[in-house]
Homo-oligomer: A and B are copies of this chain.
Amino acid sequence: MSKKNVIVAQSGGPTVAINASLAGVVQAVIQSENYNVVYGSIYGILGILENHILNLSEKAEEIPDFIETLKISPSMYLGSCRYKLPDYEDDDATYAFIFNQFKKYDIGAFFYIGGNDSMDTVSKLSHYGEQIGSDIRIIGIPKTIDNDLCITDHTPGYGSAAKYVASSILEVAHDTYIYSVKSVTIVEIMGRDAGWLTAASALARNSYNTAPHLIYFPEVAFDKDQFIADVKEQLSKRNNVIIAVSEGIRDKDGNYFSAAKPASDQFGHAQLSGAGKCLEYFIKEAINVKVRSIELNVLQRCGAHISSLTDIEESFSLGLHAVSCAASGMSKCMLIIKRISDSPYQTAITTADIKGIANEAKSIPRQWINEAGNDVTPDLVNYMAPLITGEPDISYQNGLPVYLPVTHLNTIN
């Protein structure tokens, strides 16, 4: 029997570790006895629908240090999409087309690297595959800076974003402490409806840095009066108060705090922006103090020059494992990380049924947030701390980090 090929795609929002998982898949296929060519679908599942396919085996041969440079390059080498598959009961033509493409490219396994929404695609394709009796393996590889996927201990991409957040808070603290006049600095952090990434701000604390002094999570209903009281108490104790706030904080009725009007994307997520600005206005109204708000914005998800080696290596391993799982006959699953111990930090890679992962989100357990709802507990610090450790070896040319060119994406002319 001749060896089948595999196809891989990336979807959702960028992280700096999602290319490490892709590098793992490419390396595993190149070294595999079970598979032949590894193809990449450009712009997520859309590449399969629009026949926009890249031969990654060829790229790996042509480009020097392809695997190593891909591993540390930010964002998505294959491009992304935010495309939701129709239900196949409503429209099975799309599914038929996809499986026809699989046949055309002699595909034995499809890997989708993504977050909640991408796992929805894995789940739907798996079910359709079962219905038509296909033996093509459909496997999800997790990624999201939000760390909100169920069952896996944490998500690839989270550790690096957490490292970016913690180091930024530390540097902002140095920037803030130099003035003897009282000030409040608010740092708005991503994470949608989960506070994991905001919690990582606490990792900035060390022998001399007490910031952040207050942390606000989507998991705890935000109360404006309590917030002002918290800030006043902090200002009575120190000159320069630094606050970390999640973009996804909501009041007790579930309304987002946002200076701008929330819109919705195709998956029904509110487009969040402005929680930090909003808290800035609250303080300006109530307290006579210098206030500044900082939005870390997309750099927290694409700042590859300060990524976590632990995160990059785990993401790479997940890619490697995905290929061996497919070869051993597994399908309809997502790769997950199981934690064996915090200290020394030890993990194992295994798989979980895609059911129960897709479209579900994991919040911070309430007992990992302090009673007042404005700080982390030591248990949460112990959980996060190992994930940001280690620094990958980044090459610089002309003063800038060297990443893999993405000239195959037709967005660049």
Q: Which residues of A contact B (CB under 8 A)?
A: 10, 14, 43, 46, 73-76, 79-81, 163, 166-168, 170-172, 174-175, 177-180, 203-204, 206-210, 237-240, 292, 294-295, 297-299, 301-306, 308, 385, 388-391, 396, 398-401, 403, 405-407, 409-413
Question: In the complex the two chains form, is A406's CB within 8 Å of B174's CB?
Answer: yes
Starting from the known contacts A170-B403, A172-B302, 12 additional A-B residue pairs (CB-CB under 8 Å) come to A14-B175, A43-B178, A166-B400, A170-B400, A177-B406, A180-B410, A203-B398, A208-B406, A208-B407, A238-B413, A240-B412, A391-B399
Please state the number of chain copies in the assembly.
2
Question: In the complex the two chains form, is B411's CB within 8 Å of A179's CB?
Answer: yes
A207 to chain B, nearest CB (A): 6
Question: In the complex the two chains form, is A411's CB within 8 Å of B240's CB?
Answer: yes
Q: Out of B75, B167, B177, B292, which one reaches A409, CB within 8 Å?
A: B177
Q: Out of B180, B302, B413, which one reaches A46, CB within 8 Å?
A: B180
Q: Out of B175, B204, B304, which one reaches A74, CB within 8 Å?
A: B175
Measured in the bound complex, the distance between the Cα atoms of B81 and A410 in whole Å is 50
Residues of B within 8 A of A207 (CB): 405
Q: Out of B79, B297, B396, which one reaches A178, CB within 8 Å?
A: B79
A117 to chain B, nearest CB (A): 14
Q: Given the known inter-chain contacts A174-B14, A175-B301, A302-B174, please indicate yes or no for A399 contacting B389, CB distance below 8 A.
A: yes
Residues of B within 8 A of A170 (CB): 400-401, 403
Question: In the complex the two chains form, is B80's CB within 8 Å of A403's CB?
Answer: no
